[in-house]
């Protein structure tokens, strides 16, 4: 049985929980399973990666989200 690829929000790049198909923070944004890279942000205020990516909330994020 194939495992379902989680969706990522095209606006904030947040990787959504398995049962979600729409981002709670950006309900109007397109969500897709076509994404690459994976970064986990635990404390955005202390993370250089979070600062460079513009991430303000802890969570799992895709580095690249492909929207067609």
Instruction: Give kind and range of the element (H or E) at residue 61.
Output: strand 59-61
Q: What is the pLDDT of residues 6-50, one digit of tens each?
A: 999 999 999 999 888 899 999 999 999 999 999 999 999 999 999
Query: What's the structural domain count of the chain?
Result: 1
Q: Is residue 34 part of a domain?
A: yes
Helix (H) or strand (E) run with residue 48 in it: helix 48-53
Query: What's residue 46's pLDDT?
Result: 97
4: Cβ–Cβ under 8 A, 6 or more apart, which residues? 18, 33
Q: In this structure, is residue 3 part of a structural domain?
A: no
Structural domain of 44: 8-65
Instruction: Check whether 1 has a pLDDT greater than 70.
Output: no
Residue 20 sits in a domain whose CATH number is 2.20.28.90
């Amino acid at each position: 049985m194939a495992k379902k690829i989680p969706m990522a929000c095209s606006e904030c790049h947040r990787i959504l929980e398995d049962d979600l198909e729409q981002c709670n923070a950006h309900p109007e944004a397109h969500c897709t399973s076509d994404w690459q890279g994976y970064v986990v942000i635990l404390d955005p205020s202390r993370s250089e990666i979070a600062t460079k990516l513009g991430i303000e909330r802890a969570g799992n994020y895709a580095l690249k989200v492909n929207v067609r």
